[in-house]
Amino acid sequence: MTLLVLSLAAAVVVPGIGRSIGSVRARAEISGFAAYLRAAREHAITRGEAQSVRLDPETRSLVITAAGSDAVRSSRSFTYLMRIESDPPEALAVTFAPLGFSNGATYRILAPGNRHYLVTVDPLTGRVSSRLADS
C-alpha cells in the first residue's frame, strides 16, 4: 500500500518538476540575452565609443562591434531551442551611444514550452528590460 501511494505521488510530482526546470532554463537564457545587451551599453559608455549589437536569427547569436566597424569585439550564441526575432524583422541591430541612449529595439523570443518573452531596449535611455509576453 505504501508503495502504491509513493508511486501515485511520484506520477503527479515528476511532470511538474520537468516543466519547472524548462521554465528556469528559459528564464536563464532570456536573462543572458538581456545582460549581453546591457554589457554592450556599458562598453559604449566606458569606452566613449558607440557599440552595435547585431542579431543573427539563423544562428541565434548576438555580435558586438564598434559602430561602423566589422571587427567583432564579442559574440554570444543561444540555445537552439529558442527562436529569436527582431520587431520589426528588418531591425536586426541596435546601437548604443557613448551617452547611453540607443536607437531602440524589441526582440521577441519563443522559448521551449511555448513561452513568449519580450526584450526591449529603450531608445531614450538605452535601458534593457525583459518580460514574459502575453501569448
As a whole-number percent, the residues of the chain with pLDDT over 90 amount to 53
The pLDDT value given to residue 7? 61
Q: In this structure, what C-alpha cell is assigned to residue 20?
A: 519547472
Separation of alpha carbons 19 and 115, rounded Å? 11
Alpha carbons 14 and 71: distance in angstroms, whole number: 47
pTM: 0.81
Contact call for residues 111 and 100 (beta carbons, < 8 A): no
pLDDT (average), residues 92-109: 94
CATH of 2-132 among 3.40.190.10, 3.55.40.10, 3.20.20.370, 3.40.50.800: 3.55.40.10
Q: What is the pLDDT of residue 87?
A: 86
More confident residue, 115 or 18: 115
Backbone φ and ψ of 105, nearest 5°: -165, 155
pLDDT at 4: 59
What are residue 16's phi and psi, to 5 degrees?
-65, -40
Contact 123, 106 (CB under 8 A): no
At 115, is the secondary structure helix, strand, or coil? strand
Please write the tens of the pLDDT for every residue from 12-62: 555 555 556 667 777 888 999 999 999 999 999 999 999 999 998 888 899
pLDDT at residue 28, as a whole number: 86
